[in-house]
Amino acid sequence: MSTFPNGFLWGAATAAHQIEGGNTNSDSWVLEYTPGTIFQEPSGDACDHYRLFRDDIRLLKELGLNAYRLSIEWARVEPADGFISDAALRHYYDVLELCHDCALTPIVTLHHFTSPRWLMKQGGWGGSETPARFADYARAVMEALGAQIPYVCTINEANINTILAQLGFGLYMDEAPATTAAPVGIGEGLAEARSAVSAWWEACAREMNTTPDQLKPANFSTPADVEPPLMAAHVQARQAIKAVRPETQVGITLALHDWQVLPGGEEQAARLKHDAFEKWLPTLADDDFLGVQNYTRQRIGPEGVLPDEEGVELTQMGYEFYPEALEGMIRQAAVAGLPMIVTENGVSTEDDSRRVAFIDRAVTGVERCLADGLDVRGYLYWSALDNFEWALGYRPKFGLIAVDRATQQRWVKPSAHHLGQICLHNGPFE
């Protein structure tokens, strides 16, 4: 008998900006196309999913999956401040209707890193009005599409700036990272790194009618500036969603490591974990679920985060291939006291057999958590398609489905069938 409960959500996840293409009205588009950009390449047409969503959703159904996490793009729904586009809402209505027709439960993210350009003029995620504006957008989406939306993730990885700063990747963090494993360039030479990109940042600010100091995208900002507004935005959006449709399940998603403490590392680990996770708990107390997202572990000693052990297998992202991290993370995230949905977990590799192994080992970890009574409601692999991996461009391959971006042809990888089989073998489903 399967450990997985009836109704367990098995699926794949995507984000609008990373697959739809042509998201020209977003802050990210400006960051990508402004000369001097730190992006390896711009998103361009991405996977042209805005046009090809029918084919992609049908592929997921044919695999045997029963859930699909997707995001709605604020920059499309509200292209100008205060103007809600019926055409964009109709598009997402068609997307959601097709999910239901295909028996894929949609899990809808309202904000996955990208924001409309106009928001940057108002202080971006540091702006005092931003939480209310986000709640207005959430309300508009729910009024138009709420009947089709059983689950909402308000904000994706609302803690991403802290996570990046702890890794040494944050360009605009307050202090040097608490790690000895900071990637060369940014963690070690914060001032130099900032000045190297300052011309680009200034040009982006000009393009979005703001100043460099006031340019605060959701995922490129100092945690202290944007996390309080992100928390307020989550709470206000949850209230707006519930007011329109009380039965919709609402949560946020957080990027969470499996924090592994080595002797003497207790204090450092407690600080890293508090800053990246525990400080969010009061904000989430009234949520229906917590979306947990994990990619690897972090080993912490007395001096902070330790470098990878010699010889470990690395993913294309440069971090350790360690699928057991999902189990370790879930056990730590359980302290939130909320049902958990694994809204992202995956591996970036050209070798699809490593993806099959990763999924098997990660899912086995989820099974062990369920056997111990932890409340896990779903597993959504990141990602459905090979897609735009932000500043790294299209090189990292996370997808279950490969995309030839010249022809926009899709190839279903063996790992996709493998996940589909896991889903089919762990039914029956509602």
Please answer whether residues 193 and 185 qualify as being in contact, where contact means their C-beta atoms are separated by less than 8 angstroms: yes
Q: Where are the alpha helices (DSSP H) in 245-351?
A: 266-276, 281-284, 325-333
Of 20, 157, 227, 389, which is the active-site residue?
A: 157
Residues found near ligand BGC in the complex (CB under 6 A): 15, 18, 156-157, 255, 344, 382, 389, 398
Closest CB to ligand BGC among 283 and 387? 387
Output the smallest distance, CB 84 to ligand BGC, in A.
Answer: 25
Contacts of residue 356, defined as CB under 8 A and 6 or more positions apart, other chains included, come to 414, 415, 418
Residue 109's Cβ-count burial label (10 Å; 0-12, 13-18, 19+) is buried
Q: How far is the CB of 361 from ligand BGC (least distance, A)?
A: 18
Q: Does the annotation mark 389 as catalytic?
A: no
CA-CA distance, 18 to 280, in Å (whole number)?
A: 26
Q: Largest Cα–Cα distance of the chain, in whole Å?
A: 60
User: Given the complex with ligand BGC, which of 4 and 74 has the nearer CB atom?
Assistant: 74
Q: Which of 324, 347, 331, 364 is nearest to 413 (CA)?
A: 347
Is residue 339 reached through a cis peptide bond, with omega within 30 degrees of 0 on the bond before it?
Answer: no
- Which of residues 226 and 244 has its CB atom nearest to ligand BGC in the complex? 226
| 3-state helix vs strand vs coil in the chain, percent to 5 | 45, 15, 40
Give min distance, CB of 344 to ligand BGC, in A.
6
* CB of 18 or CB of 154, closer to ligand BGC: 18
The residues, ordered by sequence, that sit 6+ positions from 130 with a Cβ below 8 Å of its Cβ are 119, 122, 123, 124, 229, 233
Tokens coding 283: 């904000």
CB 114 within 8 A of CB 23: yes
Minimum separation from the CB atom of position 18 to ligand BGC (A):
6
Closest contact distance (angstroms) between CB of 83 and ligand BGC is 27
Element containing residue 166 per DSSP (H, E): helix 160-167
User: Closest approach of Cβ 56 to ligand BGC, in Å?
Assistant: 16
What single-letter DSSP state applies at residue 391?
G
Count of all residues that appear for the chain in the document: 430
Q: Which of 286, 289, 354, 300 is nearest to 328 (CA)?
A: 300
Instruction: Using the minimum distance from each CB to ligand BGC, give the nearer residue, 344 or 352.
Output: 344
Q: What's the distance, CA 137 to chain centroid? A: 19
Of 122 and 161, the one with the shorter C-beta distance to ligand BGC is: 161
- Residue (183 or 282) nearer to ligand BGC, CB: 183
Closest CA to 321 of 307, 308, 304: 308
* Residue from 335, 299, 290, 67 nearest 181 by CA: 299
CB 173 within 8 A of CB 161: yes
Residue 396 CB, shortest distance to ligand BGC, in Å, is 7
Active site residues: 157
